[in-house]
Amino acid sequence: LLIEDDTETALYVTEGLQQLGHIVVWASTGPDGYFQASHNDHAVIIADRMLPGMDGLTLVKNLRRAGVLTPVLFLTTMDDLNARVEGLEGGGDDYLTKPFAMAELVARVNALTRRSQHLATMAQTRLVVADLELDLLSRTVSRAGKLIELQAQEFRLLEFLMQNSGKIVTRTMLLEHVWDLDFDPGTTVLESHMSRLRAKVDRGFDCELIQTMRGYGYVIRPN
Amino acid sequence: MSYGRIRLFQTETFRLAAIYVGLFLGSMLFLLALIYFIVSNAFESDLLRNSRDDLAAIRKAYVLGTPKNKSLHEAKEMIDDRLLASDAADLFLLQKDGVRVAGNLPTMAAQAGMIRMDYPLPSGARAGSSGRLLGAGELLAPGIYAFVGRDLYATRHAEDRMVLAFAAILLLTLILSIAGGLVLSRSFVRRIDSITATCRSIMAGRLNDRIPVRGARNELDQLGSTINDMLDRINSLMEGVRQVSNDIAHDLGTPLTHLRNRLERARRDPHGGTDAIEAAIADCDELIAMFAALLRIAQIESGARRAGMQTIDLADVLRSVVTLYIPALDDAGHPVTADIAPGLRMLGDPQLLFRLFANLLDNASRHTPRGTPISVIASHAGTQARVTVADSGEGIPAEDRELVFRRFYRRERSRTTPGSGLGLALAEAIADLHGAHVALEDNKPGLRVVLTFPLTEAAALPRAAE
């Protein structure tokens, strides 16, 4: 479900998601969006913060109060200062600043749909991708039975990648989730962390699990 | 000048002067009345005392008179002696059973104590038929009454002269005050007029006009120089805004031209021009990032982020920035040393502070050659935290140090390295928001950025518990 009053953005999002096989329902006002969200089941709600009739934040707060647990991705403008904190506190699950790249949106929607599908199994303590295993309790990582020493940041990085295994994780998603950053600290910063992680996880093994999607982000998956 | 001269009597100064004069005259009137009252009282009590002295002398003569039947005679003789020697102001009466025995007053009711009354003047004295006297009477024996008084004419005369003198003083004061008020108002109005005229002229577009200051340290000069300082500040801000819009036009123009060229090339490319489109999208992202940075600076400068401040440990922020950057700096061949004192508690926005130091580290790595060491040092300095981010690269010459904080400013040799020229401007805006002072110093060699943050009070002392 897409709740967005700007036709241009709405068409852009709809086309992008439809190409990937998603079904998009578009509501252009707050009350309309609320009606759709509370009467039909959706995998993900993408809501603009500024909507005619009822703003996005109020809409989501009302939905949560009404017991609708569909994951919500907020769209915000650049000049909205506290968008992130407010959005997440108000019941949103993720946020994205306009303008955004389609790849970014897709990656986030995928992460959210996956999260909603696996809501029941979220309490898992082991993440496994091929022969790579990550134990959340003992905070250890091993590949093919061999223990891998990781620093705290590298561990969080790998944990986030593995939680979204098979899905592309964008640079900004990593920066937000692993370092809680709301800005891009420059190209080399993340790459350097990633290359260290890859050196530890993939070096000496035949198949590279962590792959770079140039211009978008990274993905971890068994080949 | 379209602005008319204020009429003198309508001026605020004149009004104030008038109030002042009124108050002054009022208090003077009160004071003079008090003096009048005290002096005339003193005159009268003097007269009364003299009268009582005389009366006592008469009583003494009467009581001590021997033999007893000559008592009245003694008193009479005494009064007669006094009347012979005295001036006209002394008044006596001695009467027995309502008949005058001696004195120069007609008989009266035998009343003891102080008496103030009119009396008929003896013929040949001053004009008018009656005078006023003040005196004291006493019954010396049953039926025998003595009275001594003094004519009040002289006193009255002195009092009248006193009143006249007082009136003259008041009048003179009034005239002087009004004249003074007028002079004061005129000079004040003239100064105010000159300030008004300057303001009008600035409003009319002559932005470099300034209010004339005489150099005396009075409040009008202070007002004038304060307004002048304010105008200078406004001018420099406007200059800044003009500079920024020029820079935006110039610095955003270049990437937009690149973008356009790439899109043209993509259109001409028979294979669809995917690479050119990719590059164009990258250009767009760069532009968006630039706008976002500009917007962020504006927001920070407007103080809108201040609401989100909380007590944080600057050391935590610094440590996480350094940990984030170490791999990248390492890859770029910059050895990093960090010496961060714990417990730097201050009021701040951790996200923004993170960004501030991230920008500084990013700058240090981008503008120094490979292999240049970078150090981050944080320490307590009294009630402040002193954070130094230093490199030993080429540094920035002293004359350029102010300029690098300007939006879009990039030193000539940096034009070839990527960057928007907004990093330090953003860093400075964040530092300002946190009340921090930023100084660029010579690290001999290299650049040293020194930031001093005010700590929250409890944190000024090292935490003993840890």
State the DSSP H helix or E strand holding residue A50, giving kind and residue range, or none if neither.
none
Contact status, residue A217 vs residue A108, Cβ threshold 8 Å: no
Does B330 contact chain A (CB < 8 Å)? yes
- In what side-by-side order are the strands of the sheet with B336-340? B336-340, B374-381, B384-391, B447-454, B437-442
- Find residues 127-166 of chain A whose CB sits inside 8 Å of chain B: 153
Asked if the C-beta of B367 comes within 8 angstroms of chain A's C-beta atoms, the answer is: no
Chain A residue whose CA is closest to B322: A189
Mutate to test the interface with B, among A189, A191, A195 (most CBs of B within 10 A): A189
pLDDT on residue B37: 92
Q: Give B425→chain A minimum CA distance, Å.
A: 16
The residues with which B102 forms a beta bridge, in sequence order, are B94
d(CA B430, nearest CA chain A) in Å:
14
Nearest to B367 by CA among B409, B413, B430: B413
Interface check for A189 against chain B (CB to CB < 8 A): the answer is yes
Predicted local distance difference test score (pLDDT) of residue B127: 58
- Interface touch B328/A78, C-beta < 8 Å: no
Strand order in A210-213's β-sheet?
A: A169-170, A217-220, A210-213
How many CB atoms sit inside 10 A of residue B38's CB?
Answer: 10
Strand A169-170 to strand A140-143: parallel, antiparallel, or no bridges (unpaired)? Answer: unpaired
Q: Which residue of A has its CA nearest to B300?
A: A81
Contacts 24+ apart (CB under 8 A), A55-59: A55/A30, A56/A3, A56/A30, A57/A86, A57/A87, A57/A90, A57/A92, A58/A30, A59/A3, A59/A30, A59/A33, A59/A34
CB A162 within 8 A of CB A129: yes
CB contact under 8 A, A192 and B327: yes
Alpha helices in B89-218 (DSSP H): 153-203
* B173: amino acid identity, one letter: T
In this model, does residue B422 exceed pLDDT 80? no
Query: pLDDT tens digits, residue range A113-144?
Result: 766 555 545 556 788 888 888 888 888 888 88
Backbone angles phi, psi at B25, to 5 degrees: -65, -40
Q: Tell me the C-alpha distance between A153 and A157, whole Å.
A: 6
Q: Name the pLDDT band for B38 (thresholds 50, 70, 90).
A: very high
CA distance A121 to chain B (A): 31
Name B330's Cβ contacts closer than 8 Å, sequence gap at least 6. A192, B336
**A127: which 2 tokens?**
């993440």
Determine the Cα–Cα distance for residues B73 and B60; give it in Å rounded to an integer: 13
Q: Is the pLDDT of residue B30 over 90?
A: yes
Convert the pLDDT of each residue in B66-108 to its tens digit.
766 777 888 888 888 888 775 656 788 888 888 888 888 888 8
Distance CA B364, CA A110 (A): 38
Do A80 and A56 contact (CB within 8 A), yes or no?
Answer: no
d(CA B220, CA B122) in angstroms, rounded, equals 71
**Shortest CA gap B332–chain A (Å):** 9
CB A163 within 8 A of CB A128: no
Interface check A188 vs B, CB under 8 A: yes
Q: Do B328 and A182 touch (CB under 8 A)?
A: no
Q: For chain B, say whether A223 makes contact (Cβ under 8 Å).
A: no
What residues in B contact A196, CB-CB < 8 Å? 327
ipTM of the complex: 0.78
What pLDDT is recorded for position B164? 92
**Distance (Å) from the alpha carbon of B331 to chain A's nearest alpha carbon:** 7
DSSP 3-state assignment of B2?
Answer: coil
Q: Average pLDDT for residues A29-34, to the nearest whole number?
A: 88
Residue pLDDT, tens place only, B136-195: 888 888 888 888 888 888 788 888 898 999 899 889 988 888 888 788 778 878 888 888
| Gap between the Cα atoms of B64 and B71, Å rounded | 7
